[in-house]
């Protein structure tokens, strides 16, 4: 059992605990996708890039703001939209994670599976939880569209050295890993259906358990 620290000054440490727990939950929820060679790259992308540690997400989001004019000249619109959705997802997830930590502290609950569900329901914000799922799916759909475009991979790979020189390696890694993952998927729709279906079922279950209680 992990006891979340309660001091406001230790919010960052508690947030790290929560996000580590959530990444472990995602790895367990999608263990079958990670174990299948056909879907493992996409599963790894979602785990490492779409739900990444807060510092990594913050760096990527700052990179995007700094490089948007250049990206607009080099990348097709669909790839830019995928990056935009990833940034929106980062910001929303970070906000909800902070509120989850504060809710657990307010309820004086240690971080366990049952208590996570209790805090999730107590926090509410059902529309934002649904938006998390929608953004995740849409980002995947956009990457699946982008990989079909001619010259998209050579264009992105051509950006590697300039990205490295400009300190934009995390953003470049996001693009490359996402495009490669969706190129290898036999059926992007089937994979995204799994993600959306499981996350929706979990969301509904957590909210329903509070109503029953």
pLDDT at 58: 62
User: Hey, what are 110's tokens?
Assistant: 């240690």
Token pair belonging to 210: 């509070």
pTM value is: 0.83
What pLDDT score does 59 carry? 62
Count CA within 13 A, CB hemisphere, residue 207.
13
Residuewise pLDDT in 10s, the chain (213 residues)? 454 545 555 777 788 889 899 999 999 999 999 999 999 999 999 988 877 665 665 665 666 666 666 666 777 888 888 888 888 888 899 899 999 999 999 999 999 999 999 999 999 999 999 999 999 999 999 999 999 988 888 888 877 777 777 666 777 788 888 999 999 899 999 999 999 999 999 999 999 976 544
Taking the C-alpha atoms of residue 86 and residue 92, their distance in angstroms, rounded to an integer, is 10
Question: Domain residue spans in the chain?
Answer: 8-212
In the chain, where does DSSP find H-type helix? 11-29, 31-35, 40-45, 54-74, 77-106, 113-123, 126-146, 152-158, 160-165, 169-184, 188-212
């Amino acid at each position: 059992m992990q006891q979340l620290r309660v001091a406001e000054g230790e919010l960052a440490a508690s947030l790290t605990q929560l996000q580590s727990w959530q990444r472990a939950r995602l790895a367990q929820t999608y263990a079958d996708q990670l174990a299948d060679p056909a879907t493992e790259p996409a599963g790894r992308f979602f785990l490492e890039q779409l739900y990444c540690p807060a510092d990594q997400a913050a760096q990527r989001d700052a990179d995007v703001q700094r490089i948007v004019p250049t990206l607009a000249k080099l990348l097709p619109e669909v790839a830019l939209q995928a990056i935009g959705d990833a940034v929106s997802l980062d910001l929303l997830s970070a906000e909800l994670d902070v509120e989850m930590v504060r809710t657990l502290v307010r309820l004086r609950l240690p971080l366990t599976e049952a208590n996570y569900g209790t805090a999730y329901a107590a926090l509410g914000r059902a529309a934002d939880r649904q938006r998390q799922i929608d953004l995740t799916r849409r980002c995947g759909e956009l990457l699946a569209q982008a990989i079909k475009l001619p010259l998209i991979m050579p264009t992105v790979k051509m950006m590697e050295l300039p990205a490295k020189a400009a300190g934009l390696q995390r953003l470049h890694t996001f693009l490359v890993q996402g495009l490669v993952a969706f190129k290898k998927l036999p059926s992007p729709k089937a994979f995204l259906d799994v993600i959306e279906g499981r996350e929706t079922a979990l969301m509904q279950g957590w909210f329903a358990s509070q109503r029953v209680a």
